Amino acid sequence: MSAIAIKYNDEIVDLVTAEERGIEGEEIELDNSPESLDVLRHSTAHLMAQAIKSLYPDAEFYVGPTVKEGFYYDFKTESEIGEGDLKKIEKQMLSFAKKKYKIEKYEISMDEAKVKFADDHLKLAVMERIPDDIVSIYKQGEFEDLCRGPHLPSIGLIRYFKLTKIAGAYLGGDSKNEMLTRIYGIAFATKDALKAHMDMLAEAAKRDHRKIGNEMKLFTFREEVGAGFPIWLPAGGRLRARLESLLFKAHRKRGYEPVRGPEMLRSDLWKTSGHYQNYGENMYFTKIDDIEFGVKPMNCVGHIKVYEDELHSYRDLPIKYFEYGVVHRHELTGALHGLFRVREFTQDDAHIFCTVDQIEEQIIEVVDFVDKIMSTFNFEYKMMISTKPEKAVGDAEVWEKSEAALIAAMEAHNLPYTIDEGGGAFYGPKIDIKILDAIGREWQCGTIQLDNNLPARFELEYNGEDNEKIQPVMIHRAILGSFERFIGILTEHYAGEFPMFIAPTQVAIVPVAETHKEYAKLLSDKLIDINADSEIYAKNDSLNKRIRTAEKTRVPMIVVLGDEEIENKTVSIRDRRTREQYTISEEEFLTLIQTKINEVNF
């Protein structure tokens, strides 16, 4: 196989450019390496543009870069293009690829380029952003495009690709601008790699929590209830209750006190906190007796009111309040997505009030808490420090100090992190925890936010050693983020095959015949005594059918009870997780279930 590009001083340079510049370097072949795929996908984007231009001659093109999941091209045409047209475009791409046009390159001045693309207002917009005087043009057959490359030597090399979705996208990523059509695609060097990718997408679709949530009857949404308001069904309710109770204990062990603030508070308080000014458009308000109330979008204000209920001494700090706080945020309709983005959700929220000196240890303690929970669910995770955003309250100095404190805590404990400039909350910088699920997707869940602003705005204080009034630091933190989102992620992570300790039902009991029902009930009661939920499948169906029905609920364990079991005081187990079948004594069985339920080390 011959080279498609070279690597010159860490730069990927295509063959035409290398020849033009008279340089040599390590050869890059057409394979599935990241460098190679990047070139391939970029050229595939051009091939797609070529096909679109031939099918829709009025099309104007903006940019067509490669992204993590392939490539896209943004363009505009008067014709209506829908999902059904993707096949047509693919076909056209293949027919161009068969012609094996060489991809040629030449350079012209910016002024010449502006004349050349004078009738394409999108290309002109692209050129506005390029500072250079000379630009390069890539040409394949009749099609020419302004581009910096690198590209394949020929479009004949493009064989294994697929157009995946069509969508709208704002010009330049700015919602003030016009909207263009965007088509996404993916390309690989080999057929197998393309197939593996498509299989992976199918696997992700199978794990979709909305699909599994419906199948397992965990939760639902209803049009008449309103968009973004989840309804928890019994199975989901049981799962959630288990998670809540495990987490409750974990908080108590770490010295958190359960508290609870009201669902709505007077608007004046949201003005003090700054939420009214910064996020008012996303809050729900109501007016009663001429007093305006805002439904809480966060729990901090309630916890501040708890703090204010008594005077505090430096000896009391840190003070940690936690609450499974229900919050409402009016998300834009287009942002709603299953349990991942909803308008009402419950945060595992806590606020730590501490002294400046305690910041580091408190942050480390929370990070450790996060680690315990994430490892229990077999999640790997990354941490990211987010700094001051555009919309922010408080002065620059406070911000700098807070950001420095977060970085210092991470550095002091050699914890790896990255920085997200401008990603902080409006009242303080934060550490975000991003978890990686079973199929390698990233999710943002927990967050640790350092806040000097709300304590100042609410004039919080404690008495210091010399009886002076000192302002405490407030740390906002959530580990799961919200129960909704986290359960959605868990569902996809486990593909609905939840571990025993959070599964909606621990055991399905299938009595062989009518006469065994009584024993099944006795066993079910014993399971309740060890905090395990079970369900008896005693309907008038065949044994096979009932086992099938039980399997379809994804219950971790099925036990079959018949004459043999009753006689020997045993249970016949069908373990869905290990796919094994075996018989053990009833006593051993109960111990086994108990062990599996306690397999948690929060």
Which residues form the catalytic set? 300, 329, 347, 349, 351, 430, 476
> 183: which 2 tokens?
């088509």
Show the site string, 411-430: x = touches RNA by CB under 7 A, - = not: --------------xxx---
CB of 583 to RNA, least distance (A): 7
**Facing residues of 529 across strands?**
none
Q: Judge contact between 66 and 38, C-beta under 8 A.
A: yes
* Residue 83 touching RNA (CB under 7 A): yes
> 50: which 2 tokens?
């070529």
CB of 78 to RNA, least distance (A): 10
CB of 167 to RNA, least distance (A): 3
Cα dist from 403 to 359, 382, 400, whole Å: 12, 18, 5
CB of 44 to RNA, least distance (A): 18
> 241: which 2 tokens?
């209750």
User: Tokens 């480390």 appear where?
Assistant: 364
* Residue 108 touching RNA (CB under 7 A): no
Phi and psi at residue 105, in whole multiples of 5°? -140, 140
Of 93-101, 120-128, 371-379, 574-582, which part binds RNA (CB under 7 A)? 574-582
Query: CA-to-CA distance for 333 and 297, rounded, in angstroms?
Result: 17
* Residue 47 touching RNA (CB under 7 A): no
If you count them, how many residues does the chain have?
A: 602
Exactly one of 298, 435, 507, 527 binds RNA (CB under 7 A); that residue is: 298
Pick 154 or 386: Cβ nearer RNA: 386
- In single-letter form, the type of residue at position 232 comes to W
How are beta strands 430-436 and 442-451 bridged, if at all?
antiparallel
Show the site string, 347-386: x = touches RNA by CB under 7 A, - = not: ----------------------------------------
Pick 181 or 346: Cβ nearer RNA: 181
Of 129-137, 248-256, 457-465, 575-583, which part binds RNA (CB under 7 A)? 575-583
Total of residues contacting RNA (CB under 7 A)? 73
**Facing residues of 337 across strands?**
341
Pick 28 or 487: Cβ nearer RNA: 487
Pick 25 or 389: Cβ nearer RNA: 389
Exactly one of 119, 174, 465, 466 binds RNA (CB under 7 A); that residue is: 174
How are beta strands 134-140 and 257-258 bridged, if at all?
unpaired
* Residue 181 touching RNA (CB under 7 A): yes
User: Tokens 């404690």 appear where?
Assistant: 462
> 324: which 2 tokens?
């499974």
Percentage helix, strand, coil for the chain under 3-state DSSP, each rounded to 5: 40, 30, 30
* Residue 315 touching RNA (CB under 7 A): no
Q: Where are the alpha helices (DSSP H) in 56-184?
A: 85-98, 110-116, 121-128
Helix axes 191-207, 483-494, angle to 10 degrees: 130
Of 137-145, 365-373, 464-472, 562-570, which part binds RNA (CB under 7 A)? 562-570
Exactly one of 541, 587, 588, 599 binds RNA (CB under 7 A); that residue is: 541
Show the site string, 233-272: x = touches RNA by CB under 7 A, - = not: ----------------------------------------
Of 23-31, 112-120, 552-560, 592-600, which part binds RNA (CB under 7 A)? 552-560
* Residue 17 touching RNA (CB under 7 A): no
Q: Which residues contact 551 (CB under 8 A, 6 or more apart)?
A: 558, 576
Exactly one of 354, 558, 593, 597 binds RNA (CB under 7 A); that residue is: 558
**Facing residues of 545 across strands?**
none
Concatenate the DSSP letters of all residues of 437-467 into one string.
Answer: -TTS-EEEEEEEEEESHHHHHTT--EE-TTS
* Residue 275 touching RNA (CB under 7 A): yes
Cα dist from 517 to 183, 509, 510, 525, 542, whole Å: 58, 9, 9, 13, 14
Identify the CA nearest to 276 among candidates 305, 297, 299.
297
Residue 178 is classified by DSSP as: P
Q: Judge contact between 136 and 148, C-beta under 8 A.
A: yes
CB of 447 to RNA, least distance (A): 7
- In single-letter form, the type of residue at position 223 comes to E
Exactly one of 32, 54, 77, 214 binds RNA (CB under 7 A); that residue is: 214
* Residue 395 touching RNA (CB under 7 A): no
Contacting RNA within 434-463 (CB under 7 A): 447, 449
Phi and psi at residue 193, in whole multiples of 5°? -65, -40
* Residue 560 touching RNA (CB under 7 A): yes
Cα-based angle 231, 233, 236 (whole degrees, multiple of 5)? 105
Pick 9 or 333: Cβ nearer RNA: 333
Residue 472 is classified by DSSP as: P
CB of 235 to RNA, least distance (A): 14
Exactly one of 25, 156, 499, 562 binds RNA (CB under 7 A); that residue is: 562
* Residue 581 touching RNA (CB under 7 A): yes
* Residue 9 touching RNA (CB under 7 A): no
**Facing residues of 154 across strands?**
102
* Residue 279 touching RNA (CB under 7 A): yes
Phi and psi at residue 519, in whole multiples of 5°? -65, -35
Q: Judge contact between 236 and 210, C-beta under 8 A.
A: no
Pick 181 or 267: Cβ nearer RNA: 181
* Residue 173 touching RNA (CB under 7 A): yes
Pick 156 or 280: Cβ nearer RNA: 280
Of 19-27, 47-55, 77-85, 364-372, which part binds RNA (CB under 7 A)? 77-85
Query: CA-to-CA distance for 490 and 487, rounded, in angstroms?
Result: 5
Exactly one of 10, 78, 119, 223 binds RNA (CB under 7 A); that residue is: 223
* Residue 68 touching RNA (CB under 7 A): no
Contacting RNA within 516-535 (CB under 7 A): none
Exactly one of 91, 253, 545, 569 binds RNA (CB under 7 A); that residue is: 545
Of 99-107, 301-309, 333-341, 344-352, which part binds RNA (CB under 7 A)? 333-341
* Residue 480 touching RNA (CB under 7 A): no
Exactly one of 316, 551, 587, 599 binds RNA (CB under 7 A); that residue is: 551
* Residue 166 touching RNA (CB under 7 A): yes
Burial degree of 205 (CB within 10 A; 0-12, 13-18, 19+):
exposed
Q: Judge contact between 383 and 432, C-beta under 8 A.
A: yes
